[in-house]
Amino acid sequence: MKIVLVGYMGSGKSTIGKEISKIVGIPFYDLDEVIEKREQTSIKNIFETKGEIYFRKIEHEILNDFLEGNDDFILALGGGTPCYANNHVFLQNKDISSFYLKMSVEALVSRLKNEKEKRPIIANLSNDELDEFVRKHLFDRNYYYLQSKHIISTENKSVKEISDEIIATYSK
């Protein structure tokens, strides 16, 4: 079982991934945490000291290594991962079940308002700027997210409902 969760920051990839892991009994990984472990520093520090180009390069390498080196997993990608270095192509691999956790801009902004201090990229944005930022980002990234094999609308659904839907879709 290879499940990859795709979506914008705040869409619940890690929360859903952990729930699915509990239900099906296979390990959950967050790609950002895998990168931090391998690089022995935080994503924030990588961006600050080595820049985004370096980060996207190692993100691509580590993603490929992870996909080739693991058989059973649930993997949450960073919000930008599918959008760089042709990473979206692997979303169509026959042995990977990719799921886009789709949320409206309004729902994302509502969640992210409460998480700004944990997310350096949006920490200094006003709520109005956050809305515009999310709209633009989502517009730019939607093409890549939509390369996922399955699209799961998460609006007004519990973590359990979304997890059960992904498991049921995977099992078909």
Q: Is 56 annotated as a binding residue?
A: yes
User: Residues 20-52: pLDDT tens digits?
Assistant: 999 999 999 999 999 999 999 998 899 889 988
Distance from the first to the final alpha carbon of the chain: 13
Q: Is 11 annotated as a binding residue?
A: yes
Tokens linked to 23: 């239900």
Please name which of 78, 4, 7, 93 lies closest in space to residue 36, comparing C-alpha atoms: 78
Q: Is 128 annotated as a binding residue?
A: no
Q: Is 154 annotated as a binding residue?
A: no
pTM for the whole structure: 0.94
User: Residues 115-137: pLDDT tens digits?
Assistant: 887 787 888 899 899 999 999 99
Q: Is 72 annotated as a binding residue?
A: no
CATH topology of domain 2-102+145-171: Rossmann fold (3.40.50)
Q: For residue 17, is pLDDT > 90?
A: yes
Q: Is 119 annotated as a binding residue?
A: yes
Q: What mean pLDDT do residues 93-100 have?
A: 94
